[in-house]
């Protein structure tokens, strides 16, 4: 009975969190209809491996810039407005994809990917801002787990459904279906979410604000550095997985949506439990390290894949990794960052995606010269190194021992 009561308390989350999670579910459903086909269409419309790498470098730069700027924009205008802005950029991305298919031009696919990454960067920071301000202090990771679970619940069936609809009605129909779904999410956020707190009059954070945020704990600085290194190696493989599955593993079209479905299933399995137990134990490091380790195992399946089904296992492991590590990372930043937690998250995401800017053109050259499999082997090598460094060097600071908390206590004593 006590355990039942404990679970029921943890699931009494604020309405803003539920509305946000439901809107994320609608967005990922709409995006999942087309996401499995975008990189393949990019190749089919004439983009070389090097061009695909350059496109990935460009959209990672956009993601890094908007993730960093998003945290400041949330402090200036509120998370609600920035989340709605991210949904508008998602609509721009879909219009670009549709136009590219109609006029047969891969550059418009690249433009759509750029808009999509801008939306992604703004969405990550604004959703964190809303949850960090709305959720109870004892249920932060649980709230992030709910957000992750409903987000992936929206994508549970849409990749496979997208494949069937594309086969029956063509790609333009998918774009037409996605637009009203995202528009409905905009209405829900606009009407139901309370006006988010505005904490700054700056559009851009000052250098001192950024320095104060990232130096709140030494562990935060380490996480930023490892995020940069980890994403540098990850982007050796990320832009090419579906292309590898299609061109080298000879996957039939009906299998292409299954990796996205595998991510979704894994994320649904791990989302709420990992967040809930992170809150119960009050320890974030075990979950963060576990997420990195699972991702590295997933890359190994990718690097040595002999059939398309091994790529499906890779994506399943990526789904577990993403939710387990990212949920606890967000909770950790909220624990030690206080009012600066949104800026920490924005800086972390910027560091992550800046790391992803440089490697795609290199991996594009490697793919054209030596084959795609070498790109995945390099990614695996980097993943092993980063995971080991995280496990050894990351020292978790408890919430009550953070430097910010100590300073607050000191001022209260004065």
CA atoms of 22 and 151, how far apart (whole Å): 7
Q: What is the pLDDT at residue 39?
A: 61
Q: Where are the domains of the chain?
A: 13-196+204-413
- Please name the residues in contact with 99: beta carbons below 8 A apart, sequence gap of 6 or more: 105, 108
- Please name the residues in contact with 313: beta carbons below 8 A apart, sequence gap of 6 or more: 262, 298, 301
- Asked if 333 and 360 touch (Cβ cutoff 8 Å), the reply is no
Q: Where are the beta strands (DSSP E) in 121-277?
A: none
Q: Which two tokens stand for residue 122?
A: 């703004």
Q: What is the pLDDT at residue 390?
A: 92
Using a 10 angstrom Cβ sphere, with 0-12 exposed, 13-18 middle and 19 or more buried, the burial of residue 216 is buried
- Asked if 113 and 38 touch (Cβ cutoff 8 Å), the reply is yes
Q: What is the pLDDT at residue 139?
A: 66
Q: What is the pLDDT at residue 82?
A: 82
Q: What is the pLDDT at residue 3?
A: 46
- Please name the residues in contact with 227: beta carbons below 8 A apart, sequence gap of 6 or more: 348, 351, 352, 355
pLDDT digits (tens, 9 = 90+) for 6-55: 444 445 666 677 777 777 777 777 776 666 566 666 666 666 777 767 77
**DSSP class per residue in 118-159:** HHHHHHHHHHHHHHHHHS-GGGHHHHHHHHHHHHHHHTSSHH
CA 18 to each of CA 2, 24, 113, 146, 264: distance values in angstroms, whole numbers, following the listed order: 25, 10, 28, 8, 19
Helices 258-281 and 15-35, packing angle to 10 deg: 160
Ordered alpha helix ranges (H), 282-340 = 285-303, 308-337
Q: Which two tokens stand for residue 223?
A: 């996480």
Q: What is the pLDDT at residue 294?
A: 94
Low-confidence stretches of the chain (pLDDT < 70) are: 1-15, 32-47, 52, 100-106, 134-141, 148, 152, 154-160, 162-163, 166-167, 170-172, 174-175, 192, 194-216, 337-340, 398-414
CATH architecture of 13-196+204-413: Up-down Bundle (1.20)
CA atoms of 156 and 206, how far apart (whole Å): 41
- Please name the residues in contact with 107: beta carbons below 8 A apart, sequence gap of 6 or more: 100
Q: What is the pLDDT at residue 6?
A: 46
CA 354 to each of CA 105, 328, 343: distance values in angstroms, whole numbers, following the listed order: 27, 22, 16
Pick the closest to residue 380 from 323, 324, 290, 314 (CA basis).
314
- Asked if 326 and 291 touch (Cβ cutoff 8 Å), the reply is yes
């Amino acid at each position: 009975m006590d355990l039942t009561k404990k679970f029921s308390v943890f699931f009494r989350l604020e309405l803003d969190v539920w509305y946000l999670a439901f809107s994320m579910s609608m967005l990922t459903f709409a995006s999942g209809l087309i996401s499995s086909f975008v990189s393949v269409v990019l190749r089919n419309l004439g983009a070389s491996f090097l061009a695909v790498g350059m496109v990935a470098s460009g959209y990672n730069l956009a993601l890094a810039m908007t993730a960093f700027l998003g945290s400041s924009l949330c402090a200036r205008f509120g998370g609600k407005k920035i989340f709605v802005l991210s949904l508008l950029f998602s609509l721009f991305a879909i219009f670009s994809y549709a136009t590219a298919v109609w006029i047969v031009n891969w550059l418009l696919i690249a433009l759509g990917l750029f808009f999509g990454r801008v939306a992604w960067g703004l969405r990550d920071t604004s959703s964190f801002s809303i949850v960090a301000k709305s959720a109870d202090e004892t249920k932060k990771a649980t709230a992030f787990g709910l957000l992750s679970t409903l987000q992936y619940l929206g994508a549970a069936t849409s990749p496979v459904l997208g494949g069937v609809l594309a086969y029956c009605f063509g790609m333009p129909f998918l774009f037409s279906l996605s637009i009203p779904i995202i528009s409905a999410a905009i209405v829900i956020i606009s009407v139901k979410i309370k006006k988010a707190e505005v904490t700054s009059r700056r559009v851009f954070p000052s250098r001192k604000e950024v320095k104060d945020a990232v130096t709140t704990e030494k562990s935060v600085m380490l996480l930023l550095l490892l995020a940069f290194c980890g994403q540098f190696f990850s982007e050796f493989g990320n832009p090419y997985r579906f292309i590898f599955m299609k061109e080298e593993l000879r996957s039939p079209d009906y299998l292409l949506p299954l990796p996205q479905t595998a991510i979704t299933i894994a994320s649904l399995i791990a989302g709420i439990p990992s967040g809930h137990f992170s809150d119960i134990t009050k320890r974030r490091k075990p979950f963060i390290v576990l997420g990195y380790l699972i991702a590295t195992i997933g890359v190994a399946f990718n690097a040595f894949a002999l059939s398309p089904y091994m790529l499906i296992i890779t994506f399943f492991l990526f789904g577990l990794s993403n939710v387990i590590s990212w949920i606890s990372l967000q909770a950790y930043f909220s624990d030690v960052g206080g009012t600066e937690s949104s800026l920490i998250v924005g800086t972390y995401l910027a560091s992550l995606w800046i790391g992803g800017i440089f490697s795609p053109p290199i991996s594009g050259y490697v793919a054209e010269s030596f084959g795609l499999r070498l790109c995945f082997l390099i990614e695996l090598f980097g993943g092993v190194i980063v995971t080991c460094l995280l496990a050894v060097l990351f020292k978790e600071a408890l919430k009550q021992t953070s430097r910010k908390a100590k300073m607050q206590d000191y001022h209260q004593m004065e």
